[in-house]
Structure 1
Amino acid sequence: MTGERVGYVRVSTAEQNESRQLDGVELDEVFVDKASGRNRDRPKLDALIKYVRKGDTVLVHSLDRLARNVTDLQAIIAELNSKGVRVEVTTQGLVFTGDDNPMTKLLLQMLGAVAEFELAAIRERQAEGIAKAKAAGKYAGRKVALTPEQVAEIARRHAGGAGEGITSLAKEFGVSRQTVYKYLAEESTVKDQQ
């Protein structure tokens, strides 16, 4: 292979350390996502797919780093292969080139199913843990992102004559745009009920 060796690393949260995944693997470029693998909504994965060219090799630590469900896993690998890019899974010793034999395809489906099952098991254990903590009075839930006063100010400023934008308000209050939209929707519902 004469193309670039491009690494893809994914951890589920910003607090997790991604350095171990492709440690010691020689790479020309690395794309790192700090997001769940349960869906395709990952900006660095999209950037990687746009970046790679025919003859490149994408290296990933394990299949569950690419996706946590069989459908997405197959689609991502097929998309990369259709560009003439091979995919290597370092810990499982798998290589996908697009002209894979039936055994390789079977392994992809089986390992993808295992990743999907593992995600479902994690969610189940998490839900059980939260239920036990709530029953014991030890679970308070997620901290509220904005106070009622902040929500009122955002609503006022967004609806005001100048109509400040969601992005600038989100930056100023240190929350995501999605959080601002959520609180504005809640604020609107409360006003409608009054």
Structure 2
Amino acid sequence: MFVRAYLRASTSQQDASRARGALDTFAAERGFRIAARYMENESGTKLHRPELFRLLSDCEPGDVLLVEQVDRLSRLTSPDWRKLRAEIDAKQVRIVALDLPTSWNLAAPTDEFTNRLFAAVNNMMLDVLAAVARKDYEDRRRRQAEGTARAKAAGLYKGRPANTSRNAAIAAMLRDGRTWREIMNATGCSRTLLAKLSSAQRASVMPSTEI
């Protein structure tokens, strides 16, 4: 059995390695070693997360995927969560989360009956916490939208200021011929922002048609 830690933060401004100490302590207290750590800056609402799927690809049946909280693994919609769960189940990977005590025994060797019992309870609780994480995300987005609407109505909303240093770095990487995936991984920017900056860059270098 290998224990593989997954550490995720939503943006490049956040520290994906923040939870490393808590995961290392959890492992040390239970006498097992974390074999590998996979860190990335991607939204938990996205199913496409390269490091998470690299982790799953590296796993063998019975390996443990260790996370600080279930929401580090998923803030997915119900259909996307089912897809991720299907991938996890197909690999026979056991999820252990620090905020899910029912999962802790999955990291310790037990008899087959006890293991199946803990797995059944844990799977149910995983579904519950994944649903809660998604609802929390949707509630926060709704409150943000309501706050923005009130600010606009009052004439107080000025929008989010552009991150000029990051955008300049993205522009330089585009000029150097770096791929979009490389740029998004390096800067944490969204595909939408990258498309906008790429379009603006192409427009700035187009030859003028004026006479």
After the TM superposition, which of the residue ranges 38-47 and 126-135 deviates more from structure 2? 126-135
Runs of 4+ in structure 1 displaced over 6 angstroms?
96-99, 168-171, 174-177
TM-score, length of structure 2 as denominator length: 0.62
How do 1:155-166 residues align onto structure 2 when only pairs under 5 Å count? Answer: none
Deviations along 1:45-77, whole A, 9 cap, x unmatched?
121111222232111112111111333334323
Query: 2:70, 2:99 within 8 Å by CA — same for their partners in 1?
Result: no
How do 1:97-108 residues align onto structure 2 when only pairs under 5 Å count? Answer: 100-101=119-120, 103-108=121-126
Higher relative contact order (CA 8 A, sep 6+): 2
- Identity of paired residues, percent? 28
How do 1:80-95 residues align onto structure 2 when only pairs under 5 Å count? Answer: 80-95=88-103
Query: 2:8, 2:41 within 8 Å by CA — same for their partners in 1?
Result: yes
Tell me, yes or no, if structure 1 residue 19 matches structure 2 residue 27. Answer: no
- Give the corresponding residue for 2:84: 76
- Distance in 2 (alpha carbons) for counterparts of 1:132 and 1:124: 12
Counterpart selection for 1:167 from 168, 178, 186? 178
After the TM superposition, which of the residue ranges 66-75 and 29-38 deviates more from structure 2? 66-75
- Distance in 1 (alpha carbons) for counterparts of 2:197 and 2:48: 23
Show structure 2 runs of 5+ residues with no match.
Answer: 28-33, 107-114, 207-211
- Distance in 2 (alpha carbons) for counterparts of 1:44 and 1:168: 17
Alignment RMSD (CA, Å)? 3.7
TM-score, length of structure 1 as denominator length: 0.67
Count of matched residue positions in the alignment of Structure 1 and Structure 2: 170
Higher helix share: 2
- Give the corresponding residue for 1:115: 133
The Cα shift of 1:138 comes to: 4.2
